[in-house]
């Protein structure tokens, strides 16, 4: 899942990127409104985290411009402004949620999932089920048909989450890389293949199907009773 973070403060931005990456999000971080507008024109994001105190254009104005331009990405305002006026203006201007700094990162993650659920993104429920697997999003654990729990490293979890978010759909290497890696990440040519190999070794070769020359998929069928 891919996030655009719009935050001009270096320390705050670095901390947020680290926390999001720990939760297996791919993060693109920009520090001004101009870069943010350019990013949403050229990339697709699952959610946008927007600071209001930007150096070139106020975040409320950027929010309004994005919504006037038809940008539908869920937007959560993340700001130190705690006055009612800023909250109301942001929410009326198209923000999906508003959280005041300082905040607990666990709350931000929960708000992101809640916003995406309201948008109809079932991938942001507490768990995903597809094929013979259940994936617990908070613990990054996969539960096999035999009940065994398998804790997954961040990259493997991100790949499996992307596949299980769209059961029955074939995702190419490029599509998976877009969901798993941010701009600054170094991507080896066989990284996705290696992650899928590791997942099939841990969870069973049948859980992820290789569609030769096209990509990979997790079948739709539910867990056996």
CATH number at residue 30: 3.40.50.2300
As a whole number of angstroms, the distance between CA 133 and CA 145 comes to 6
DSSP H helices in 1-78: 10-22, 33-42, 59-68
Half-sphere exposure of 108 (CA within 13 A, CB side): 25
Among 70, 92, 122, which residue terminates a domain?
A: 122
Position 36 pLDDT exceeds 50: yes
Position 218 pLDDT exceeds 50: yes
Same-domain check for residues 113 and 131: no
pLDDT computed for residue 120 by the predictor: 64
pLDDT digits (tens, 9 = 90+) for 37-47: 999 998 889 89
Please, what is the Cα angle at 98 between 96 and 100, to 5 degrees?
165
Q: Which domain holds residue 27?
A: 2-122
The torsion angles phi and psi of 184, rounded to 5 degrees, stand at: -85, 0
As a whole number of angstroms, the distance between CA 75 and CA 112 comes to 9
- Write down the mean pLDDT value for the chain: 89
As a whole number of angstroms, the distance between CA 3 and CA 99 comes to 16
Position 24 pLDDT exceeds 90: no
Q: Is 45 helix (H, G, I), strand (E, B) or coil?
A: coil
Same-domain check for residues 212 and 130: yes
> Looking at the 3D structure of the chain, how many domains does it have?
2
Same-domain check for residues 141 and 101: no
Position 184 pLDDT exceeds 80: no
- pTM of the prediction? 0.72
What is the DSSP code (8-state) at residue 112? H
Same-domain check for residues 55 and 97: yes
Same-domain check for residues 154 and 187: yes
Q: In this structure, how many other beta carbons lie within 10 angstroms of the beta carbon of residue 72? A: 10
Same-domain check for residues 58 and 151: no
Which structure tokens are listed for 176?
């998976």
As a whole number of angstroms, the distance between CA 170 and CA 120 comes to 21
Position 31 pLDDT exceeds 90: yes
Q: Which of the four pLDDT bands, split at 50, 70 and 90, describes residue 224?
A: very low
Same-domain check for residues 167 and 85: no
As a whole number of angstroms, the distance between CA 3 and CA 17 comes to 9
Same-domain check for residues 201 and 156: yes
Position 222 pLDDT exceeds 80: no
Paired with 143 in beta bridges are 134, 149
Same-domain check for residues 107 and 142: no
Among 56, 90, 122, which residue terminates a domain?
A: 122
């Amino acid at each position: 899942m891919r996030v655009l973070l719009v935050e001009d403060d270096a320390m705050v931005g670095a901390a947020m990127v680290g926390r999001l990456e720990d939760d297996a999000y791919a993060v693109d971080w920009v520090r001004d409104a101009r870069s943010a507008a350019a990013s949403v024109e050229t990339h697709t994001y699952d959610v946008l985290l927007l600071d209001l105190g930007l150096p070139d254009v106020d975040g409320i104005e950027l929010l309004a411009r994005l919504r006037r331009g038809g940008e539908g990405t869920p937007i959560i305002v993340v700001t130190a402004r705690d006055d009612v006026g800023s909250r109301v203006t942001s929410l009326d201007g198209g923000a999906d949620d508003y959280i005041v700094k300082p905040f607990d990162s666990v709350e931000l993650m929960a708000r992101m999932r809640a916003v995406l659920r309201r948008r109809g993104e079932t991938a942001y429920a507490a768990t995903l089920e597809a094929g013979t697997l259940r994936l617990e999003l908070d613990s990054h654990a996969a539960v096999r048909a035999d009940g065994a729990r398998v804790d997954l490293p961040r990259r493997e979890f991100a790949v499996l989450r992307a596949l299980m978010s769209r059961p029955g759909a074939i995702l190419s290497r490029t599509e998976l890389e877009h969901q798993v890696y941010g701009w600054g990440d170094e991507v080896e040519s066989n990284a996705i293949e290696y992650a899928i190999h590791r997942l099939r070794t841990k969870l069973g070769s049948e859980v992820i199907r290789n569609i030769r020359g096209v990509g990979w998929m997790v079948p739709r069928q539910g867990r056996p009773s």
